[in-house]
Structure formats: structure tokens, C-alpha cells
Amino acid sequence: MRIKKSLAKLVEWERVCRVATVSPQRVPHVVPVCHVVVGGKLYFGSEKTAKKVLNLRSNRNVAVTVDLYSDDWSNLKGVMIQGTVAFIEKGQRFRHIRKALYSKYPQYPDQAGLAEADSVIMEVTPRNVFSWGME
């Protein structure tokens, strides 16, 4: 499954999303990440030793949310993606997605560079996509 174009626009436009994982001890973990959408899938990078990565290595299920808050609740909008993660650790795909991340976030290379030696890119394949406040 891929993210529908109408929902992908909001996900692509937003600068940060929240990624929820679960540890082997069943402890939830939610963190903000910088992301890109390429070909209807969501991607984000991280250090290989980050808690979210360790959690995803033991349980590849993930939930991701992107939302827009407004004090006028009739304008609330958001998307939640439930899916599974694949790890891209090196090679052409790693460099292609890294380039997309660097393009969206110009500060990325200098402040949180993704090196193939110590970083991983997660590819979220949607299983369920929910939205609110959207058409």
C-alpha cells in the first residue's frame, strides 16, 4: 500500500512527524523525526544505535503521525500511517533517500549527517492510513 496523493501532500509538506515504536519490554516510545515521502512511502534516518531503531529491529511495526493543530478545531487535520519498516543501510537506495532528506532539510548534512557507517534509513510501508479533517 502507498500513501494516497491527497494525503501525501500534507505528509510531504510538514517538516516533522512523530514515530511510535514499542520496545521488547512493550514500552512505547514516541519521537519526532524529519522525513520525506518518495514513491508513496515515508522515510526517515537515524543513528543505528538510537532507541527507535533498536525497537524497530525487534518489532518492525510502526505508527507515524503528521498533524496540523488549530485553536479552531474545525480546521484540525492529520494523517496516521500504520505500517512496517524496512532498513536501508547502504548502497544506492541509501544515498538516493539521503539526498532527498538533505534536499528537504539543508541543515541535515552539517548538523546530523547520515553516514552509511553509522546510520540507517527506515522505509515505512503503509498498511493502514487514517486521516481527519481532510476531504
Q: State pLDDT tens for residues 101-116.
A: 999 999 987 887 788 8
Domain boundaries, given as residue ranges, for the chain: 5-128
pLDDT at 113: 77
Please give the single-letter amino acid code of residue 82.
Q
Percent of the chain with pLDDT over 90: 77
Band of residue 76 on the pLDDT scale cut at 50, 70, 90: very high
What are the φ and ψ backbone dihedral angles of 11, each rounded to 5 degrees? Answer: -60, -45
Nearest to 42 by CA among 66, 59, 22, 6: 66
Domain range 5-128, CATH class: mainly beta
The three-class DSSP label of residue 12 is: helix
Whether 129 and 1 have beta carbons less than 8 Å apart is answered as yes
Read off the pLDDT of residues 31-44 as tens digits, 9 standing for 90 and up.
Answer: 999 999 998 899 99
Report the pLDDT averaged over residues 62-68.
Answer: 95
Q: Where are the beta strands (DSSP E) in the chain?
A: 17-22, 28-33, 35-38, 41-47, 61-68, 77-88, 119-132
pTM for this one? 0.92
